[in-house]
Amino acid sequence: MLRLPRFRVLSPRTYGEAAKLLDEHGAAELDRSRGTPTLRVMLVAGGTDLFPNMKRRQFAPEILVSLTHVRNAAGVQENGELVISAGTTLTALAQDPRVRERYTALAEAAEVVSTPQLRNMGTVGGNICLDTRCNWYDQSLFWRTAEGYCMKTNPEVVCRVATSSPRCLAVASADTVPALMVLGATVHFEDARGARDVRLAEFYREDGMSPSTLRSDEVLTDVTIPREDGWRSTYVKLRDRGSFDFPIAAVAAAVRWDGRAVADARVAITALASRPILIDAARAALIGTRLEDEAIAAAAEAVHKTARPMDNTSGTISQRKRASRVLTERALRSLRPA
Amino acid sequence: MTSTKELLTLHVNGEALTVAAEPHHTLLEVLREELGLTGTKHGCELGECGACTVLVDGAPVLSCLTLPVLMGDAEVTTVEGLGSGERLHPLQTAFAEEGAAQCGYCTPGMLMAAKALLDGTPRPTREQIATAISGNLCRCTGYTAIYEAIEKAALRT
């Protein structure tokens, strides 16, 4: 048996209580100078990302604060904007008729995360906070000890993917994030002192060790998407198998039509760098066009220039780089008027 | 190491069972090691194979990544709860008839994923079957016999 390390479980009933528990147990005093540190207390929602990592001993917290029993932690509401509670499962998101109809990229992304079982367990909040991945990191403790670790867990070790890299190159892998980015999502957090909102497009940073501005003493509570009529969106993903696998290249695209011309557009990628990226140059290439082949090619070129796949997941660098162009073209073509 | 076991009441296959379990042990460990329900298999134990699939309130989930201490009153169904006494579930009969189980290791997980499908979609298409068992790896059958067994069971239920 591959067992979890020992821990205690605390099960608050509100997000406020969860934030207070994190504070009381010293989450804010986390030592970030050691990269992925020995965290004393961690949050867990669906557990589909955290528990495998704990079984591999990437994390061994003494205390887990579970969000399973937080009241009203799951559900999708519409009140001008779409409000998705962070504990909403990926299955619920993929099946929600409002999400399917008007926020299509998000439903399509949620539907291709891993497997049905994991979508029944995993939450949208967990997907937004998904740890970055790397062939040198997502391995058992036995394997990593034999190989001498990597920068992500041990900052004194070189990055094994590119030994001269000053930073960890682990790859962003959450399917729902680029979809949420092109839909203009904002994420909401609570800590023991208050709340903050962040535009999702500004939440991440190009650092595999510390891939977002999420603080260890705050709780992701909701995701909101503005109501933007007239937008059409889609998500296309490349992975090794048609199930189970994380993306090795993926593109989300959204277009708002004004008559026969593109009034606005957004394109975001994941699995092609340490953070998901909303690509402004692709937007610029599309506005005012009719999504002619030339306009799509120009947007795809902007995506291709931005994509920086490294040799740290399945597929080859050149295959994934090329896929960034092909997936962008496919996504945008599918958004042309019928 | 000192035991830190807690008393839990789990609802498994229609029975309320009180068991002493470590809070860091997964549902898979508690089912197999504390309750003796070894029908649920441990494969990768990292969420990458589906061998440990059980139903929680009717939905297929992975018992290797589920904590019993957080389950509350949720109803767990394992492969042991599929049939009734000595009478096999139609899915089990169809799997046997169609050769859908070869080494058999993935079979309990496949059966549970298939049961969840048929409970919600009594006459699934081949595509719906493929999606429903897309979280369960089988290295023997090539899946065709499994699709056929699920179709056969669907016609009998």
- B contacts of A5 (beta carbons < 8 Å): 24
Q: Give the rounded distance of the alpha carbon of B21 from its chain centre.
A: 21
What is the pLDDT of chain A when averaged over all its residues? 95
User: pLDDT by residue (tens digit) across B87-143?
Assistant: 999 999 999 999 999 999 999 999 999 999 999 999 999 999 999 999 999 999 999
**Mean pLDDT score, A20-37:** 72
Q: pLDDT value at position B126?
A: 98
Which pLDDT belongs to residue A296?
98
Model-level ipTM above the cut of 0.85: yes
Q: How many CB atoms lie within 10 A of CB A229?
A: 6
One-letter amino acid for residue A111 of the chain: E
pLDDT (mean) for A312-334: 97
B20-25: Cβ within 8 A, 24+ apart? B21/B68, B21/B69, B22/A6, B23/A7, B23/A8, B23/A9, B23/B67, B23/B69, B24/A3, B24/A4, B24/A5, B24/A6, B24/A7, B24/B67, B25/A3, B25/A4, B25/B68
Residue A7 sits at the chain B interface (C-beta within 8 Å): yes
CB atoms within 10 A of CB B15: 10
Pairwise CA distance, residues B73 & A7, whole Å: 22
Judge contact between A115 and A245, C-beta under 8 A.
no
Q: A47 — contact with chain B (CB < 8 Å)? A: yes
- β-partners of residue A270 are A250
pLDDT at A300 over 60: yes
pLDDT confidence of residue A311:
96
**pLDDT per residue over A154-174, tens digit each?**
989 999 999 999 999 999 999
Name residue, tokens 């016999």.
B145
Which residues of chain B make contact with A244, given a CB cutoff of 8 A? 48, 134-135, 137
Q: Does B131 contact A116 at a Cβ distance shorter than 8 Å?
A: yes
Interface of A with B in 96-115 (CB under 8 A): 114-115
Tens digit of each residue's pLDDT (9 = 90 or more) over B41-57: 999 999 999 999 999 99
Average pLDDT (A286-293) is 98
Q: Please report the pLDDT score of residue A184 as a whole number.
A: 97
Which chain B residue's Cα is nearest to A55? Answer: B46
**pLDDT score recorded for residue B1:** 62
Report the distance separating Cα A98 and Cα A105, nearest Å: 12
Highest mean pLDDT among A153-157, A172-176, A225-229: A172-176
Band of pLDDT at residue B2, cut at 50, 70 and 90: confident
Closest in A8, A69, A115 to B134, CB measured: A115
pLDDT of residue A32: 55
Q: What is the pLDDT, as a whole number, of residue B3?
A: 80
Q: With contact defined as beta carbons under 8 Å apart, do A216 and A21 qualify? A: no
Q: Is the pLDDT of residue A316 over 70?
A: yes
Beta bridge partners of residue A171, listed in sequence order = A133
Tokens (6 digits) for B114? 């298939």
| A3 contact residues in B (CB cutoff 8 A) | 24-25, 29
Q: Which two tokens stand for residue A153?
A: 């867990």
- The answer for residues whose C-beta is within 8 angstroms of residue B137's C-beta and 6 or more apart is A244, B43, B48, B49, B50, B51, B106
Distance from CA of A53 to the nearest CA of B (A): 8
Give the nearest partner residue to B135 out of A9, A51, A116, using CB atoms.
Answer: A116
Q: What percentage of residues in chain A have a pLDDT greater than 70? A: 97
B117/B149 Cα distance (integer angstroms): 13
Note whether B23 contacts A8, CB cutoff 8 Å. Answer: yes
Q: What is the pLDDT of residue A97?
A: 97
Task: Report the pLDDT value the prediction gives residue A35, as an integer from 0 to 100.
Answer: 46
pLDDT of residue A36 exceeding 80:
no
Helices B144-156, B90-98: inter-axial angle, 10-degree rounding: 140
3-state helix, strand, coil in chain A (%, to 5): 30, 20, 45
In chain B, the domains with their CATH numbers are 6-81 (3.10.20.30), 90-156 (1.10.150.120)
Burial A329-338 (b: 16+ CB within 10 A, else e): bbbbeebeee
Q: CA angle B64-B68-B72, nearest 5°?
A: 140
Give contacts of B 2-61 with A, CB under 8 A.
4, 22-26, 29, 42, 45-48, 50, 53, 59-61
Q: Tell me the per-residue pLDDT of B64-77, one tens digit each, with 9 for 90 and over.
A: 999 999 999 999 99
Which H helix or E strand runs over B72? Answer: none
Which residues in chain A have their CB less than 8 angstroms from residue B132's CB?
116
Q: Which two tokens stand for residue B18?
A: 């009180």
pLDDT in the model for residue A37: 55
Q: What is the pTM of this model?
A: 0.96
H or E element that contains A192: none
State which residue of chain B sits closest to A60, comparing Cα positions: B24
Domains of chain A: 231-334 (3.30.390.50)
pLDDT mean over A26-49: 76
Chain B positions in Cβ-Cβ contact with residue A242 (cut-off 8 Å): 134
pLDDT band at A294 (very low <50, low <70, confident <90, very high): very high
